[in-house]
A = this chain, B = another copy of it.
């Protein structure tokens, strides 16, 4: 088993992108990398915030659980992405994160992370820009949920999935298997509605359903709906 050194990591996480070699080495010394298999929980809503994490490899869904047990998927994340930064100034973690496939996750003790931020103005500035982008993203999301109808939100969700995970080389299908319930939790609707509209989109030759695999035929058609 190869060691999970930052130096042989082929992702561009925020740290590798924006820190000098000395700081990357500092990070390398102070992280621990853990493997999660599909379905395992990486972060759990309500737990104390003790770490910031990066995805070394794998796909992850980040979600919140509402009053009536309904989940709401906040973000789909991929290799290189940061997780758990939402808990930064919070008492407890506001979201859960679950592996959608086998994942390698790097954990940084929150104190070490704060140390990097406080002593590394350039990194701190880039992190600020990152948060600003996240905020904008989230507010666009809120607006979508407030103003779009279900059909539009499902189209929007498919475009988002495409943007994050892209498509499988061989089959041209979305490079991730999500349940109808997962898609519903992104779009803010029910699994039945997802089923119905997916078939409607298939009727309209916008996409193709092969079991759980979805092949986007006309991405522009979906974007036009939004």
Contact = CB atoms under 8 A, between A and B. Distances in A.
Interface string A124-161: 11011101111110111111011100000000000000
21 contacts: A64-B143, A72-B142, A72-B143, A72-B146, A74-B139, A86-B135, A88-B128, A89-B136, A94-B136, A94-B139, A95-B139, A117-B125, A119-B121, A124-B124, A124-B125, A124-B128, A127-B128, A131-B132, A134-B135, A142-B142, A146-B188
Q: Is the interface of A mostly helix, strand, loop or mixed?
A: helix
Interface of A: 64, 66-68, 70, 72, 74, 85-86, 88-90, 94-95, 117-119, 121, 124-125, 127-129, 131-136, 138-143, 145-147, 188
A114 to B, nearest CB: 8
Given A121-B118, A145-B188, A147-B188, A64 B139 contact: yes
Top 10 A-B pairs, shortest CB-CB distance: A146-B188, A131-B131, A145-B145, A88-B132, A138-B138, A89-B129, A142-B142, A66-B147, A72-B143, A89-B132
